[in-house]
Amino acid sequence: MNSDETFPDGPSDPDGWRTHELSQLRRFRVLSLRRKLEAMEGMADVVRLLDQMRRQGKFRSGSHHQAAGRRS
């Protein structure tokens, strides 16, 4: 992690979140093509794992919780 990276102070600091998001985009932009592809492959692996866990009933997505809450 670079010392120039900034993190948001909390949910009430929208400018902090935007600054953090931009720092992440800058960090990704300077990666080599190989590193970018590796990062994207890793993210796809996580998506596949979460999808598999959801199908197995290991957890529900937030939209399922919201829908269940409305029915009550």
**Is 9 part of any domain?**
no
**Is 39 part of any domain?**
yes
| Number of structural domains in the chain | 1
* Alpha carbons 72 and 64: distance in angstroms, whole number: 13
Which residue type sits at 56? Q
Is 0.95 surpassed by the pTM of this model?
Answer: no
Residues 6+ apart with CB under 8 A from 35: none
pLDDT in tens, 22-57: 999 999 999 999 999 999 999 999 999 999 999 999
**Is 30 part of any domain?**
yes
**Is 61 part of any domain?**
yes
User: CB–CB of 6/13 below 8 Å?
Assistant: no
> Which residues form the domain of 39?
14-71
Between 13 and 28, whose confidence is greater? Answer: 28
User: CB–CB of 16/26 below 8 Å?
Assistant: no
**Is 63 part of any domain?**
yes
Q: What is the pLDDT of residue 14?
A: 75
